[in-house]
Structure 1
């Protein structure tokens, strides 16, 4: 190198530093690129995305190629920098200047800056880089394969396969995170709907059913005028008919069928029983996504929920499932408005003891436990392990709760104190 001019060596060193920056930014850009967006662009026929995906199909080869190039240019840069510094500062100071000076330059211009840029804009770095890296991989393929053979052999001794970590599939919880991380790209309402679909697998018929005590039903053995009155005042299109006890359910009658019989002057008990539709039963533990498929295949819209002994526990409809996805059809858009939760002026909330815990969590943005009892009354009784005889105050899942009204062996009304009284850091139950 004694015959090469110092200015020429400086130019060569600058080129090597630029090449080092290229390899550093390419590595970060390739590893930081969004794999799901990349697959989307690939499916749309984007050529750059196809090139990048081809390189990422074997990350061991890609990393090997980039590191080979990066180390070669860095070692060459070190050699040239040593010659330049020795010429300018002598042997002793030249060695010191090379060590610290080149380290500083490489860190700033060949490592931190290009890698930060690539992390911020991975596509803008990875797509153009693939035009160079793919042909370079073809040229250096034997050398890259040799290096990978050694490194993969070392990994195999540790019982690690380089191909095992290339699984891009997402779990349900990871999908939830992706949906919420979409931010403004997906409206909040649509995010809630997508998450609602993901949650169908973990929600059962028991969680959303209308409890047995609240089922609107008609005893077919009642007086005929009373039956007519119930049918004409019914707020639902399908009404359950039973004999004496709801456990002896006869079937559902559609309001349309009753009106048809009435229009033909054939509205009698006998004709009403003939118009009854068969009951569809489902176990209490049926996940909602399974129940929805069953509704679809059986052409059903309503089912009675039964326990392990076959006793009727409640009623679930297709609308209940849809509300888990898109929200309550009948709920007002006014914040904090609920038929079972009333916000007071001091910020506390009066809640009906029969309120469904999951519904309260969704509407009021609370985090009450949902693994046990389904109603607030049941949740408090499970916590107390007895029916209180007088008004008491407790702290449940970090929420200060005051029992306001008790009657008929049930907690009728409770008061949940406002946010500033809560200790969210407390465990799920005390």
Structure 2
């Protein structure tokens, strides 16, 4: 999933094609008549195609009959890889080959909307989304998608090694003094707690928690890159202490650090690690007595603030049946259907607040509760095309600082300079 985010943002730069279509200003998906460009366009009816990846086909097929009956329409469900479908929209859309409804990672929605490939949407006004959810699908005050599922990094811990999850990074630091976590391959190092901070997606929660940021307060101001602010540098310096004073050298290998962390955790050499919900199945299948919690509070007293991820539904601007597509998007994201997705299919956390609150209040699944709690402290990933340059510019920032090649301030300044130069050249 981490690689998907990087590939998604890098691919968005390739979508800078001029596009024309039936882009819209308003939609309702729950009314018989909707408005686009300020004019009524007709009633819900006809047929639409919903294109989703293999993991969502059964879910969508299960809810389609009720939607067809309610609106007297026909829905075709096609199995399509999400990223392949998104990449093809600029060409398939004008040719009439793109689905009427599809999914997109949140970080792709803003850029594709700005480029004219997505219809404008109006979110259901029934309390199903909070401000973080809305920000995920909004750019320049325009909504181009509908929130579907959410995800965030969390803390995994081994219940055979820890009775309760740590609440602060001070506790994690103290844990490294325990000799049972000494790394046998390198003297004076510890694997008690591990996090893949050499990777920017994983380290951003640390930098952000200390006060760093990407594009201004709302993630859209490309002139304000706060990855080299005094607060961000303080976060990088904190990571340096782990790289230099605690962790084995393998933690600086950007290509293998993630595998090293998983291996140490599965083997019982690490008591706690930071990872995304996608790592849970592997840990459980490997026999770890798994516990999950929100990531501990940072030394400065702030919450760890990783990127808030997930997926949203979008309607390409080329659809010939916008009203029915918009109605389907509202239907698929209602509380009943989102609980069905969670309980019977993918176990992903719905963006729908009512469904999310019900899951949280039930408290039956530690992973779900942890993701919900951490997501509330997460930062929506900027969904503008310029984010592709952040991945490139910040790629080696932690390695340069952690390896001693550069001081923290120098590594941060160099990364920000690369980001700024690339943005000036390409946008």
Q: Given the two structures, how large is their TM-score scaled by the length of structure 2?
A: 0.20
Comparing both chains, which one has the higher relative contact order based on Cα–Cα distances under 8 Å and sequence gaps of 6 or more? 2
Greater radius of gyration (CA): 1
Q: Given the two structures, how large is their TM-score scaled by the length of structure 1?
A: 0.20
